[in-house]
Structure 1
Amino acid sequence: MDDCAFCRIVDGGRDVYTLFEGERTLAFLDENPATAGHSLVVPRDHVEDLLLADEATTTAVFRTARALALAMDRALEPDGFSAFHTTGGLVGRVEHAHLHLLPRYADDDIRLSLSRGSLDDTRPESIAESLRSSL
């Protein structure tokens, strides 16, 4: 897609600090990092939702993320990792599926928190039945 920033990166039309180039994926440093080493893993094909993409694409992205996390662990010695993917209106400015991989450090000041309720407040029986029948 001509107007997709990540498609331009995949096609070589934008310079990035490339970490990995595979047949189905590309990994590079985020240009607005939350931590040192914050990276993005993207499928080479334009897809908007990683979790709804074909199985080969999703598998390739997560395999690349795993390999990158192992490399980060050796090279950067983080205290842990955060990995996340969002879709739809939550994706932000780029509607090309991507997985954020952030090496985490005890003093990184990142707060990824969820407002939580109680499972009993969410109709668990009907939700579970609906999901099981959709599998």
Structure 2
Amino acid sequence: MDDCAFCRVADGRKDVYTLFEGERTVAFLDENPATAGHALVFPRAHVEDLLVADQATSMAVFETARALALAMDRALEPDGFSVFHTTGGLVGQVEHAHLHLLPRYVDDDIQLSLSREPIDGTDPEALSESIRQTL
């Protein structure tokens, strides 16, 4: 897709700081990083959602993220990692599926938190059964 920034990266029409290029995936440093080493991992093929992409594509992205995290662990010695993927209208500016891989540091000041409360008003047994039935 000509208007997709990640497709332009994948085919070499957009310059980035590339960390990995494989047959199915590409990884590069985020242009506006939350931490040093913040990387984006994505499939070469234009896919909008990793969760509904074909299995080989999804697996390749997660395998690349794993390999990259191992390399970053050795090179950057972070205290840990955060990995996330958002789908649908919440995805943001780029509608090309990708993972954010963030090396994390004790003093990085990043706040990725979820508001969590006990299941209330929802029958957890019915909810789990409904999900299991669709697997």
TM-score by length of 2: 0.97
Deviations 1:50-95 (A, max 9, x none): 1110000000000000000000000000000000000111100000
Number of equivalent positions: 135
Could you say which residue in structure 1 is the equivalent of 2:72?
72
Could you say which residue in structure 2 is the equivalent of 1:36?
36
Which secondary structure state, in structure 2, belongs to the residue aligned with residue 101 of structure 1?
strand
* Aligned AA (1:91): V
Which secondary structure state, in structure 2, belongs to the residue aligned with residue 106 of structure 1?
coil
Could you say which residue in structure 1 is the equivalent of 2:124?
124
Partner Cα separation in structure 1 for residue 86 and residue 126 of structure 2: 25
Partner Cα separation in structure 2 for residue 58 and residue 34 of structure 1: 24
Measured on the aligned residues, the alpha-carbon RMSD in Å equals 0.8
Could you say which residue in structure 2 is the equivalent of 1:21?
21
Could you say which residue in structure 1 is the equivalent of 2:98?
98
Give the superposition deviation at 1:44.
0.3
Tell me which moved more, 119-128 or 25-34.
119-128
Partner Cα separation in structure 2 for residue 125 and residue 9 of structure 1: 45
Partner Cα separation in structure 2 for residue 13 and residue 122 of structure 1: 49
TM-score by length of 1: 0.97
Counting helix residues as a fraction of each chain, which structure ranks higher? Answer: 1
* Aligned AA (1:100): H
User: Runs of at least 4 residues of structure 1 off by over 3 A?
Assistant: none
Partner Cα separation in structure 2 for residue 58 and residue 29 of structure 1: 20
Give unmatched runs, 5+ long, in structure 2.
none
